[in-house]
Structure 1
């Protein structure tokens, strides 16, 4: 039902399909207010006030590693659904190594062994299956998205194998770790995010442009690394997607 709602841009609409701009701008204003009052101050406290993309503290790195490790099984499932057996196996191996040798994922042993993290989601799986991108959306708290990515978020809730084996308290701890990781990332890239959200003449249009450019680039060439010539900004999601 969610996929049936993915709209297709009309002929000649250009690279940005945003029929919900009025609603999106209202949500963007809410997200920016939330960032200004809660997320940005909290992220600066976690990162020590730097916010300039410097090195993370040891504690912050442990939290990020733990959260990323919990997502590895879900990423393996998505890679299987995308028909990418190599990356599916790599994600499964990363999870095994970091869970055992890395003390439940607190340390990125697999990364040190030459197995870097592989970020994917069901939205990318839908892209591989040929589902259209749909209209641009900005979601409360979650930030920039598209109709296809939003549908993928719903499915991702149910596709993590850990969801069926963790206890309720363990699931809450896992959720907290992921949220903490997003806040830490907000502090890590604070200077760049602030320049878009608070220094742009139209922060909504700038956020939309950056997100769509980076998301499309990531989906078209998952192995490529973004460069300054490709994008206005070096990371995919201004709100830690």
Structure 2
């Protein structure tokens, strides 16, 4: 999406990110529309992963890990930029070192030697940057294919796609296969946690409300806005990369 076209969309979304009314912990004024999108997403998930029927288990675990490694590595330049925008110099430095080591010693990111020496990923995105800049969370959204989000997180997704610095610092294979590997990595993670996700989507009395609660609790935990009483995030496996 051209920058000149995307920026007005982002500004409109940010202007809509009004704080929730006092006492409201789940701000969902678009619930009717969100529920329709949720049913669409459930149908797509059932068609794709239901028909696969756990066939992902037949794929070599080492091959799956290689795909995940590559996908995680191509996301690091964007995380470095967001770390700097958040004044998180330590996190930005860690992600920079991970990218350099895994891109060189790790054969373009197919391996994870940085993790082996204790350099773990400092996950972040522009949605978190907006939170650090004190933009309110806005209303809950369920996006087609992409799933649960908020107005602030959705604006962050758009900005991350526009300003991805991988175009400037990545290798040719990383640029060529970055998006494809990201999609494949998400599919593999979906397969790895299939039973847990299926229990939410298929076994819940109200899968929309359950997924909404899980996503918001996880996202707020990531951003440090969870109440102190909820000191452990039980849902990181489901929405840890949103």
TM-score normalised by structure 1 residue count = 0.87
- The answer to whether the 8 Å contact 2:74/2:174 transfers is no
Does the 8 Å CA contact 1:123/1:152 hold for their aligned counterparts? Answer: yes
Q: Distance in 2 between matches of 1:234 and 1:150?
A: 19
Q: Where do 5+ consecutive residues of structure 2 fail to align?
A: 1-10
Q: CA RMSD in A?
A: 2.5
Between 1:183-192 and 1:164-173, the stretch displaced more is 164-173
Q: What is the CA–CA distance in structure 1 between the aligned matches of 2:50 and 2:185, rounded to whole Å?
A: 14
- CA distance in 2: counterparts of 1:156 and 1:211, whole angstroms: 20
Deviation at 1:178, TM superposition (A): 0.5
Structure-1 residue corresponding to 2:6: none
Please tell me whether the aligned partners of residues 37 and 144 of structure 2 are also in contact (alpha carbons under 8 angstroms).
yes
Residue number in structure 2 paired with 1:136: 140
Q: In structure 2, what is the Cα distance between the partners aligned to 1:72 and 1:230?
A: 23
Report what 1:81 is aligned to: 85
1:96 matched residue in structure 2: 100
For residues 50-90 of structure 1, give each alpha carbon's deviation from its aligned partner in whole angstroms, at most 9, with x where no partner exists.
xxxxxx80000000000100011110000000000011011
1:96-135 to 2 correspondences below 5 Å: 96-135=100-139
**Which residue of 151, 163, 167 corresponds with 1:163?**
167
* 1:167–1:101 CA distance, 2 compared to 1 (3 A): closer
Report the Cα distance in structure 2 between the residues aligned to 1:42 and 1:82, rounded to whole angstroms: 41
Confirm or deny: 8 A CA contact 1:215 1:236 kept in the other structure. Answer: no
Distance of 1:193 and 1:201 partners within structure 2: 14
Stretch deviating more after TM superposition (165-174 or 65-74) = 165-174
- Describe the shift of the 1:63–1:230 C-alpha distance in structure 2 as closer, same or farther (beyond 3 A): closer
Q: Which has the higher helix share?
A: 2
Q: Does 2:165 correspond to 1:154?
A: no
Matched residue of 1:235: which SS? Answer: helix
Paired residues in the alignment total 229
Q: TM-score, normalised by structure 2?
A: 0.87
In structure 1, what is the equivalent of residue 239 of structure 2?
A: 237
Distance 1:167 1:97, change over 3 A: closer
Higher RCO, 1 vs 2 (CA within 8 Å, ≥6 residues apart): 1
Deviates more, 1:168-177 or 1:126-135: 168-177
- Does residue 195 of structure 2 align to residue 191 of structure 1? yes
Q: Which residue of structure 2 aligns with residue 17 of structure 1?
A: 27
Contact 1:214 1:235 in 2 (8 A): no
